[in-house]
Amino acid sequence: MKIIDKLQENKIHISFEIFPPKTDAGIEAVLSATEQIAKLAPAFISVTYGAGGGTSKNTVQIASDIQKKMGVTSLAHLTCASSTKEEVLSVVDRLKAEGIENILALRGDIPEGLEFPETDQYHYAYELIREIKKQGDFCIGAACYPEGHVENEHKEDDIAYLKQKVDCGVDFLTTQMFFDNAILYNFLYRIREKGITVPVLPGIMPVTNSRQMTRICKLSGTVLPQRFHAILDRFGEKPEAMKQAGIAYATDQIIDLIANGIDHIHIYSMNKPEVAAAIMTNLSEILR
Ligand code: FAD
């Protein structure tokens, strides 16, 4: 089923994200974690696409297994910065052959040392989106950045480029993680004002590992509020306490979003079924 059709239903949708293993040896563990996440009956499960081909070959297979073996709609991520146009199109063909209707179309990060992608590549996500539209009847998602994309110093330009991207045929947007809902509300206000009207799925990251998170936030430019710093300071070195606090913080963010009328939420569950399950338990009455 197309995600955009699900989003039209009058109910709260929770979806999860998983990532493929770094090597083929890890595939069984990822499939087993995904199976447990699928049992939580999410609206869909998204599967990331590794830059540079490394983990990317498993994306299509895992997305296909989610639909055919686990009975849940899947969203396959696809990036273009590290591949030729021909390589990207061959992945689109495989997705079509597997009956995957939902693609999250991304540029991906530019590989280190490369000034800008070569000419036989798509330079930006909007070019990829235009191409996917020509290839079939896909439901297309794209990324957006409530705090602005890290490469773009000018937030207004970032929103203008986002509008250009959406106008190329994007059905819905998913946000980069954020830890202060006020940033999301402000972003929604600004993009709606610029005429971006597609559904926006806030991306919520339950933080269960403090070191990894500090590094990721630095790279992506995500602001960590003081309240979150206090949690990292107090529980960062105690993995089980950090996990509990991270789940509680994410739950709190989600409840606030739902209370403020946002009905679709995407959770960066990072192949951790126990984290996904704990959040669903915390929300059980809210989702009823
Ligand atoms: P674009 O929309 O192309 O934007 C990239 C930059 O170019 C921005 O700074 C934008 O302002 C600027 N820009 C856009 N259009 C123009 C233009 N016409 N002229 C000049 N500048 C322009 N990465 C992966 O490798 N695999 C994944 O699976 C993955 N999943 C993700 C999922 C989500 C929800 C998010 C938020 C990110 C994900 N990423 C993933 C990371 C993403 O690939 C990077 O953030 C990447 O740097 C930007 O991708 P994009 O599709 O947003 O790019």
Beta pairing partners, 264: 13
Token couple for 254: 């989600």
Q: Which atom of ligand 1 lies at the shortest distance from residue 142's CA? A: 51
Q: Specify the pLDDT at position 194.
A: 98
CATH number of the domain to which 233 belongs: 3.20.20.220
- 8 Å CB contact between 183 and 228: no
Q: Does residue 39 lie within any of the structural domains?
A: yes
Rg of the chain taking only CA atoms, in angstroms: 18
Q: Does residue 218 lie within any of the structural domains?
A: yes
Q: Does residue 287 lie within any of the structural domains?
A: no
Q: Specify the pLDDT at position 68.
A: 98
| Domain around 140 | 3-282
- 8 Å CB contact between 39 and 269: no
ipTM: 0.99
Q: Specify the pLDDT at position 165.
A: 98
Q: Does residue 71 lie within any of the structural domains?
A: yes
Q: Specify the pLDDT at position 23.
A: 86
Q: How far is the first Cα of the chain from the last one, in angstroms, to the nearest whole number? A: 22
Q: Does residue 103 lie within any of the structural domains?
A: yes
Place of tokens 């949690």: 231
Q: Specify the pLDDT at position 50.
A: 85
| Residue of 106, 99, 91 whose CA lies nearest to 67 | 99
Q: Specify the pLDDT at position 283.
A: 98
Q: Does residue 288 lie within any of the structural domains?
A: no
Pocket test for ligand 1, best of 46, 82, 149, 266 (most atoms within 8 A of CB): 149
Does the C-beta of 49 come closer than 6 Å to ligand 1?
Answer: yes
Does the C-beta of 253 come closer than 6 Å to ligand 1?
Answer: no
Q: Does residue 230 lie within any of the structural domains?
A: yes
Report how far residue 266's alpha carbon sits from residue 76's, in angstroms, rounded to the nearest whole number.
14
170 CA to centre of ligand 1 in angstroms: 14
Q: Does residue 226 lie within any of the structural domains?
A: yes
Token couple for 265: 């939420």
Specify the number of domains making up the chain. Answer: 1
Tell me the torsion sign for CA atoms 186, 188, 190, 193: negative
Report how far residue 252's alpha carbon sits from residue 94's, in angstroms, rounded to the nearest whole number.
39
Q: What is the largest CA-CA distance in the chain?
A: 52
Q: Specify the pLDDT at position 118.
A: 65
| Alpha-helical runs (H) found in 112-200 | 125-135, 155-167, 181-193
Mean pLDDT for each consecutive 10-residue tract of the chain (288 residues)?
97 97 92 98 96 73 98 97 93 97 94 70 96 98 97 93 98 97 98 98 94 85 92 95 97 98 97 98 97
This model's pTM is above 0.95: yes
Report how far residue 78's alpha carbon sits from residue 124's, in angstroms, rounded to the nearest whole number.
12
Pocket test for ligand 1, best of 18, 104, 107 (most atoms within 8 A of CB): 107
Helix (H) or strand (E) holding 266: strand 264-267
Q: Which atom of ligand 1 lies at the shortest distance from residue 49's CA? A: 28
The residue nearest atom 32 of ligand 1, judged by CA position, is 143
Does the C-beta of 106 come closer than 6 Å to ligand 1?
Answer: yes
Q: Specify the pLDDT at position 22.
A: 86
Report how far residue 145's alpha carbon sits from residue 79's, in angstroms, rounded to the nearest whole number.
17
Report how far residue 174's alpha carbon sits from residue 179's, in angstroms, rounded to the nearest whole number.
15
162 CA to centre of ligand 1 in angstroms: 10
Q: Specify the pLDDT at position 117.
A: 57
Q: Is 197 exposed, middle or buried (0-12, 13-18, 19+ CB in 10 A)?
A: exposed
Total Cβ atoms within 10 A of residue 150: 15
Does the C-beta of 124 come closer than 6 Å to ligand 1?
Answer: yes
The count of residues in the chain is: 288
